Amino acid sequence: MKPNKLRQLIKEGKPTLGVHSVIPWPRLVEIMAVTGAFDYIEYIGEYSTYDLETFENLARAIELYPNMSMMIKVEEQSRGYIATRALDAGIQNALFADIRSADDVRECVASSVPKPRKPAGATARPAAESMSAPTQSKWVKQMNDAVLAFMIEKKSAMDNLEEILSVKGVDMVQFGPNDYSVSLGNPDRAVCRKLSKHTIR
């Protein structure tokens, strides 16, 4: 199980560069990783197709490249289940869409961090480590190293941004101008650009 490159860079206070993909093809992950141009790839599950086997195949592909980690973007419905299965499979990070409040964030964090389990509860799940299950301690470290990111794309989320950022477990946020403008009922791009700068501090 390789180190989480995104987590390492955040700990060091360094900027990161990611790339989006909506194509559930492991070879594409390898093509992006071999360039060495990106720190992480964000698989946008919210807008793509996948099954649970897809997570394992994507994780096996990214495992080959220590210079890059992977993130999955999950939609609002069933986000806890999808994020948990993706992280267990070896996709190292998760981005949660359609956040509206600090309570939403707490729910997402609670579904993504290690909880006391019997050893079989963790080791029975696959992870991309030589296609074998991780030990209990490695599984806990993998979950603790996961970067949890949250989309700020609703008016209520922007109104409650300070409270959202204060929730333990929030590593980063992304601003979604298109969905945000829809939530305002007034797609004013100038306003969205201004608020985008507000979320980057």
Sequence letter at residue 109:
V
pLDDT level of residue 130 (50, 70, 90 thresholds) = very low
Is 50 exceeded by the pLDDT of residue 8?
A: yes
Q: What is the pLDDT of residues 50-71, one digit of tens each?
A: 999 999 999 999 999 999 999 9
Q: How far is CA 103 from CA 46, 99, 109, 166, 176, in A?
A: 21, 9, 10, 11, 19
Mean pLDDT of 26-40: 96
Tell me, what's the pLDDT at 200? 53
Task: Report, as an integer, the average pLDDT of 177-192.
Answer: 75
Q: Which residue has the higher pLDDT, 33 or 119?
A: 33
Q: What is the mean pLDDT of residues 144-156?
A: 94
Query: Mean of the pLDDT values across residues 12-26?
Result: 95
pLDDT at 114 over 60: yes
Q: Higher model confidence: residue 201 or residue 45?
A: 45
Decide if 175 contacts 168 (C-beta within 8 A). no
Q: Residue 131's pLDDT band (boundaries 50, 70, 90)?
A: very low
Q: Which percentage of the chain shows pLDDT scores above 70?
A: 81
Contacts of 135-139 with CB under 8 Å at 24 or more apart are 138/1, 139/88, 139/114
Percent of the chain with pLDDT over 90: 67
Q: Is the CB of residue 148 less than 8 Å from the CB of residue 109?
A: yes
| Confidence grade of residue 120 (pLDDT, cut at 50, 70, 90) | very low
Write out pLDDT tens, residues 136-145.
777 778 888 9
Interaxial angle between packed helices 26-35 and 52-63, expressed in degrees from 0 to 180 and rounded to the nearest 10? 30
Identify the architecture of domain 5-199 in CATH. Alpha-Beta Barrel (3.20)
Mean pLDDT along residues 64-90: 93
Domain segments of the chain as ranges = 5-199
- The answer to whether residue 98 scores a pLDDT higher than 70 is yes
Residue reference for tokens 């603790």:
144
Q: Which amino acid is at 193?
A: R
